[in-house]
Amino acid sequence: MRIVVLGASGNAGRQICVLLARELSADDHLVLCGRDPGRLAATHALLAGPVRADEAVLDVTDADAVRAVVAGADLVVVTVSRPDLVGALGRIVLEAGADWFDTLLSSPTKLAALRGLQGEIGHHGRCFVTDGGFHPGVPAALVRWAAGHLEEIREADVMAGMRLDWLADTLSDSTVEEMLDEFADFDLAAWVDGESRTLRWSEWPKVDFGPPIGAKTCVPMPLAEMEALPRRHPSLRRCGFYICGFSPVMDYVFLPVLMVLAKAPSLRPLAIRLTRWSMGRFASYPPPHRLVLQLTALGIEDGVPAAATVRVSGDDGYLLTAAPAVACLRRLRDGTIRRPGLHLQAQLVEPDVFLGDLAALGLEVQTRVAPLAGAPEQRAS
């Protein structure tokens, strides 16, 4: 299989290439693409296994260069933080007869561009998977796992806690811009009491993630992958994704300023510099690092109130991004989940297999289904 990775020189792309290379054989060909030869060589040096790997220096704004490198590819993995180019890149990938997988943030720009190609993707029998990675990428898969292990699911809030170094100095300007767009459009909404609405700060949950993260207040963060869940499981009264990970100074001082700056195109360069600086100083932590994604879903099992709990965690933020991506790519490559059309990673993966693959790829995965305290005990696993 010929796999082209656009963005192989970046943090997510590099870790995806490292994990993916271990899964490939001497018959496969991995093409690492980016603008910076030094950063591409650094990714190449980390690859292990028999796969043939080559570097291709290119700028994705050069459509002819992308067309040339994508020709003959079976799969194109996109970790280039350019949602504005997704429509053009997606069309080139379609014309090459390849499948698509991306880890870009779940932005309206990206999703609209891919939905614009949806008809052609299906018509040509291609499989395009978007919102790959950790968030987006995992939260709705956890809810789907819980729904599969409860007779009826009523509440399913997914919580993400982080204590990370955001490596702000290493990020491309376009990655910082993507974050700014997300800050500017941030909508503090979740599915509560059977409806989607914006939550007041007094409603934001405080969650204990254990050491070294501790107890943190989490803010709601809408994700496309979560939207379909209440329709698919009408018994759900609560279902949201909530996240913490910066710091009070970042959340209450810098983020409001950045949200305003982000809306003024002329102030973009200043906003990019301030984002990088503030994330480095007020949102990044020294080791120990930790990233936790956890869900305690409430519902009914064996006729009694029960909880289905799942926790996915690790110490390396980019392993948490790459492992879900490679877990999904593993099942696309073996054909078990590959279907023509446009899919969100968290909605496409088979949850039990996905969690098993995440564990095999180095993440800590714990699951439990048990009656709630006070309910007559019938079964625990």
Ligand X SMILES: NC(=O)c1ccc[n+]([C@@H]2O[C@H](COP(=O)([O-])OP(=O)(O)OC[C@H]3O[C@@H](n4cnc5c(N)ncnc54)[C@H](OP(=O)(O)O)[C@@H]3O)[C@@H](O)[C@H]2O)c1
- Binding-site ranges for ligand X (CB under 6 A): 7, 9-13, 34-36, 39, 59-61, 79-82, 103-105, 133-137, 170-172, 174-175, 178, 321
Instruction: Name which of 39 and 144 has its Cβ closer to ligand X.
Output: 39
Q: Name the residue nearer to ligand X (CB basis): 41 or 215.
A: 41
For residues 53 and 30, what is the distance between their CA atoms, to the nearest angstrom?
A: 5
Segments in the chain forming alpha helices (H)? 11-21, 37-46, 63-70, 86-95, 108-116, 118-123, 139-149, 173-184, 224-227, 229-232, 248-249, 255-261, 268-278, 317-333, 345-348, 351-360
**Taking the complex as a whole, how short is the minimal distance between the CB of residue 176 and ligand X, in angstroms?**
8
Please give the residue whose beta carbon sits closest to ligand X in the complex. Answer: 10
φ, ψ (nearest 5 deg) of residue 11: -65, -50
Beta carbon nearer to ligand X, 173 or 302: 173
Which residue is associated with the tokens 């943030």? 105
User: C-beta of 317: minimal distance to ligand X in Å?
Assistant: 8
Q: Return the number of the residue (28 or 177) whose C-beta is nearest ligand X.
A: 177
Cβ distance to ligand X smaller for residue 74 or 173: 173
User: Minimum CB separation from ligand X for residue 256, in Å?
Assistant: 21
DSSP lists the bridge partners of residue 148 as none
Full 3-state SS string of 86-115: HHHHHHHHHHCCCEEEECCCCCHHHHHHHH
Q: Helices (H) and strands (E) in the chain — how many of each?
A: 16, 17
Identity of the residue, 307 or 365, whose beta carbon is nearer to ligand X in the bound complex: 365
Q: How far is the CB of 277 from ligand X (least distance, A)?
A: 16
Smallest distance from the beta carbon of 134 to ligand X, in angstroms? 3
Note whether 131 and 344 are within 8 A (CB).
yes
Q: Tell me the closest approach of the beta carbon of residue 375 to ligand X, in angstroms.
A: 36
Helix (H) or strand (E) holding 266: none
